[in-house]
């Protein structure tokens, strides 16, 4: 007996994307949706920087996956550098006081810098990083962030290239972690609150 759907038969409506990991409540952006978005962002960045060399400054650890995919789609010459800033406070929200675990190795003076971030949440990391880089007299500084969570902003920051605006949820996957886990998930999804309930380091919830 044939079980395939006839051409006229409609697919049942699906309101939610399937959860592909037991700790994930909902998948917000699939691997395919992220790949398409990164491609669009890279095309825009390549157009804007045509004829220039850009230094990509990746904010560790979360932005590493985004950087790896983004840079391979760029058609302009680029150099990669990494910074790792640790915020005092909980492991999942910025207090605004940072410890620099790894600083820039490259000189950014008179060069074009593109900061590559995983998610802009309170905006504090980006605010202080921009100040840090601008103090070194670059030719220009722009920001590419895969995700933006505007509802949690504590300080106004401008993002030049933004992938997706996310709701006020704690998300993991595609480089983003909770307690250093879930970075390897190929999609971005909402972590089940049971996973961090009772933990010493719960995400900063709404």
121: annotated active-site residue: yes
Encoded tokens for 49:
């920087």
189 scored as a contact of ligand IMP (CB under 6 A): no
Place of tokens 């045509």: 50
122 scored as a contact of ligand IMP (CB under 6 A): yes
Q: Which is nearer to ligand IMP, 32 or 168 (CB)?
A: 168
159 scored as a contact of ligand IMP (CB under 6 A): no
Q: For residues 119 and 66, is the Cβ–Cβ distance under 8 A?
A: no
Place of tokens 């850009």: 54
Q: Which is nearer to ligand IMP, 43 or 97 (CB)?
A: 97
94 scored as a contact of ligand IMP (CB under 6 A): yes
125 scored as a contact of ligand IMP (CB under 6 A): yes
198: left (phi over 0), alpha (psi -120 to 50) or beta: left
124 scored as a contact of ligand IMP (CB under 6 A): yes
Q: Which is nearer to ligand IMP, 49 or 146 (CB)?
A: 146
Q: What torsion do the CA atoms of 128, 129, 135, 136 make, to the nearest 10 degrees? A: 170
115 scored as a contact of ligand IMP (CB under 6 A): no
Encoded tokens for 113:
């810098």
Q: Which of residues 29-88 bind ligand IMP (CB under 6 A)?
A: 59, 62
Size of the site for ligand IMP (CB under 6 A): 18
**Count, residues in the chain:** 206
């Amino acid at each position: 007996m044939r079980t395939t759907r006839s051409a006229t038969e409609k697919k049942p409506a699906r309101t939610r994307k399937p959860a592909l990991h037991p700790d994930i409540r909902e998948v917000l952006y699939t691997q395919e949706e992220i790949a398409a978005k990164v491609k669009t962002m890279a095309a825009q960045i390549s157009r804007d920087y045509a004829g220039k060399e850009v230094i990509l400054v990746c904010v560790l650890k979360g932005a590493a996956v985004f950087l790896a995919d983004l840079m391979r789609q760029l058609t302009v010459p680029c150099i990669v550098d990494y910074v790792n800033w640790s915020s005092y406070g909980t492991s999942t929200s910025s207090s605004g006081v940072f410890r620099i675990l790894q600083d820039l190795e490259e000189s950014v003076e008179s060069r074009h810098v593109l900061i590559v971030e995983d998610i802009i949440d309170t905006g504090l990391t980006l605010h202080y990083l921009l100040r840090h880089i601008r103090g070194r007299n670059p030719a220009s500084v722009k920001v590419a962030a895969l995700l933006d969570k505007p509802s949690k902003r504590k300080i106004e920051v401008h993002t030049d290239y933004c992938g997706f605006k996310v709701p006020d949820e704690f998300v993991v996957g595609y480089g983003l972690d909770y307690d250093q886990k879930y970075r390897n998930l190929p999609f971005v999804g909402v972590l089940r609150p049971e996973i961090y309930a009772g933990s010493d380091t719960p995400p900063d919830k709404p």
